[in-house]
Amino acid sequence: AQSVTQPDIHITVSEGASLELRCNYSYGATPYLFWYVQSPGQGLQLLLKYFSGDTLVQGIKGFEAEFKRSQSSFNLRKPSVHWSDAAEYFCAVGASDMRFGAGTRLTVKP
């Protein structure tokens, strides 16, 4: 069965600092992987996705993620965090029945 683990429940970074959010997946075949962001009181917005090709994928809002099959990971990165990036971030796997991780809450310090 497909599943996703996000090891970090909460991360705090300073504005301007780099960010990496971790995601590990379990999937029987080539995974379809996604990162979503959720602002308070809002639905989820797709940041980026991977299903084949280049293992480094670029998304919206300056985010990128790297697929590493050997580590079963799909970590999200941003070189310089802005205060507006404070939100909940979800990693997800699957296409027809997407499963989500528990989420990582990002706090940005001024």
Partner 1 sequence: DAGVIQSPRHEVTEMGQEVTLRCKPISGHNSLFWYRQTMMRGLELLIYFNNNVPIDDSGMPEDRFSAKMPNASFSTLKIQPSEPRDSAVYFCASTPGGIRGYTFGSGTRLTVV
Look up residue 1 and give its two tokens.
């069965």
Using alpha carbons only, give the angle 18, 21, 27 rounded to the nearest 5 degrees. 150
Amino acid identity, position 50: Y
Interacting residues with partner 1 (CB under 8 A): 32, 34, 36, 41-46, 49, 51, 90, 94-103
* Of residues 22 and 99, the one with the C-beta less far from partner 1: 99
Kindly state the smallest distance separating residue 110's Cβ from partner 1, in Å: 27
* Of residues 11 and 98, the one with the C-beta less far from partner 1: 98
Residue (of 29, 18, 30) closest to 75 by Cα position = 18
Amino acid identity, position 29: A
Kindly state the smallest distance separating residue 37's Cβ from partner 1, in Å: 11
* Of residues 44 and 106, the one with the C-beta less far from partner 1: 44
Kindly state the smallest distance separating residue 46's Cβ from partner 1, in Å: 4
User: CA 3, CA 55: separation in Å to the nearest integer?
Assistant: 20
Kindly state the smallest distance separating residue 42's Cβ from partner 1, in Å: 6
**94: three-class secondary structure by DSSP:** coil
* Of residues 17 and 102, the one with the C-beta less far from partner 1: 102
